């Protein structure tokens, strides 16, 4: 299975995610890549070979969590050790303590952050109103920030 994606923006998956938010240039690149994949598959003399792999770790679905920081993960940086942020929602707890796009979160509330999953686990282990320390890499330097988590919604 393939998933094509042009990245996140402030209104991603919200009621305000209207047509004017479409990344037309990104969509054109995605369509071009998808077309190349389809054409290459169509040109094959033989069908693809099925390869059985171990099942991936189950995805943990969280329900009822309403803790909020206001960070936007950078989905285009999968090889980054930590979680690179592509943006910060204005007026959010993240904004209030100076988190910035480009920061790489490496520690959250005393827990190491290596990727989106470990970041989510660390965030959702807290409650709205709690204060937590966040360590980011910014310009090659470690920066420690203390933030009071907000409530989503």
| Predicted confidence (pLDDT) per residue in 84-124, tens digit | 998 899 999 999 999 999 999 999 999 999 988 899 999 99
Give Dmax (Cα) for the chain: 60
For residue 8, what pLDDT band results from cuts at 50, 70 and 90?
Answer: low
pLDDT tens column, 52-67: 888 776 655 555 578 9
Burial class (CB in 10 A: 0-12, 13-18, 19+), 61: exposed
How far apart are alpha carbons 143 and 47 in whole angstroms?
A: 51
pTM of the model: 0.64
Q: Which structural domains are found in the chain, ordered by start? A: 1-55 (no CATH), 67-151 (2.30.42.10)
Cα–Cα–Cα angle for 148, 151, 153, rounded to 5 degrees: 150
């Amino acid at each position: 299975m393939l998933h094509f994606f042009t990245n996140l923006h402030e209104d991603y998956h919200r009621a305000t995610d209207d047509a004017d938010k479409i990344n037309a240039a990104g969509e054109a690149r995605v369509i071009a890549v998808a077309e190349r994949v389809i054409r290459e598959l169509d040109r094959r003399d033989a069908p693809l070979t099925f390869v059985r792999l171990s099942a991936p770790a189950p995805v943990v679905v969280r329900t009822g969590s309403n803790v909020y920081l206001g960070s936007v993960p950078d989905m285009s940086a999968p090889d980054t050790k930590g979680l690179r942020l592509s943006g910060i929602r204005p007026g959010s707890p993240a904004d209030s303590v100076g988190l910035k796009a480009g920061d790489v979160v490496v520690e959250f509330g005393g827990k190491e952050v290596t990727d989106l999953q470990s970041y989510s686990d660390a965030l959702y282990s807290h409650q709205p109103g709690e204060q937590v320390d966040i360590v980011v890499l910014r310009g090659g330097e470690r920066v420690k920030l203390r933030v009071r988590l907000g409530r989503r919604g």
